[in-house]
Amino acid sequence: MKTKIFLILLMFTAFTSYAQQDAQFTQYMYNTININPAYAGSRGALSIFAMHRTQWVGLDGAPVTNVASINTPLNNNNLGLGISFINDKIGPTNENTISADFSYTIQTSETFKLSFGIKGTANLFNLDISKLNPVDAYPVDQSIQNIDNKFSPNIGTGVYLHSDKAYVGFSIPNFIESDRYDNNEVAIFKEKINYYLIAGYIFDLNRTIKFKPAVLSKFIEGAPLQVDISGNFMFNEKFVVGIAYRWSAALSAMVGFQISDGMYIGYGYDRETTRLNNYNSGSHEFFLRYEIFKNNGKIITPRFF
């Protein structure tokens, strides 16, 4: 009962503020295309990606997110194309987002490339108000109505500077501020503009060990700055282990394994560092990436991002 009451308060806080925005991921460094369209085709292979995230396990109605994407360079030229799908469930809401990404890359030096990208998005938003009233102590405002597949289009852009050792990118996935729920001409649930800055660098510590620190910064008007800092070690081009910290929010552990030249699996676990930790047993994140490479299907050095 205590957990359900806390959830309802959390859900209404999310609706009446602008805090609930894009889905968050601990292993963002492998899921870059969802926030930056310029990433499309940058790996030089047909890259297929799937992820499942269960957040705040034990808290009724907590976020559950599923992601699927595919991106590839086109015909050995400077163009890249990507398509992605996100399903995000939070309490009484269910969102389905389909995006198409297009990138163009130029060689800026012997080692670096600069990519420009655009993203087109279609969002379908659902609200089931029956899930808002699990306890009589907190009745739902009767003026709130169900929503079935409310359609919202959007467009975004990004830039991505990268080499085999480093990357930095800036993106705005959604330029249009959409009202997900509008009650009596007052936006109760509004999608605000999200600004992303990402960066990472690979250090060769010796012949068998690599270290990659990375950072993701996310800014939303009316919400605190979100900063994710991570550090991953790769051993023998096969095994990856690391930790991450979401500023004033969570501490995470990550592991991954390069099963074959084209297949990589990863797992991440988050533990809240806020009072929310008292109401859940952490968050779990699994992903699988499969790639079809050129050069007879072989890859000389597995990409760390």
pTM of the entire predicted model: 0.85
Residue 105 inside a domain? The answer is yes
Strands 250-258 and 93-107: unpaired
| Per-residue model confidence (pLDDT) at position 135 | 55
Residue 59 inside a domain? The answer is yes
Residue 101 inside a domain? The answer is yes
d(CA 256, CA 241): 6
Residue 63 inside a domain? The answer is yes
More confident residue, 17 or 150: 150
Residue 33 inside a domain? The answer is yes
DSSP state, 16?
A: H
| Per-residue model confidence (pLDDT) at position 2 | 45
Measure the CA angle with vertex 123, ends 118 and 124; round to 5°: 165
Residue 271 inside a domain? The answer is yes
pLDDT in tens, 93-152: 899 999 999 999 999 999 999 999 999 999 999 988 777 755 554 555 555 677 888 899
Residue 273, pLDDT above cutoff 60 = yes
d(CA 280, CA 249): 14
d(CA 58, CA 259): 32
Over residues 251-276, the mean pLDDT reads 94
Residue 15, both tokens: 């609706």
Residue 15 inside a domain? The answer is no
d(CA 253, CA 267): 8
Instruction: Please report, rounded to a whole number, the percentage of residues in the chain having pLDDT higher than 70.
Output: 81
Q: Find the radius of gyration of the CA atoms of the chain.
A: 20
- What CATH number has the domain bearing residue 146? 2.40.160.40
Number of structural domains (the chain) is: 1
Give the list of residues 6+ apart from residue 77 with CB closer than 8 angstroms, or none.
none
| Per-residue model confidence (pLDDT) at position 190 | 65
Residue 294, both tokens: 């050129």
The torsion defined by the Cα of 256, 267, 193 and 145, in degrees rounded to 10, comes to: 160
Domain that includes residue 225, residue range: 1-9+27-292
Residue 305 inside a domain? The answer is no
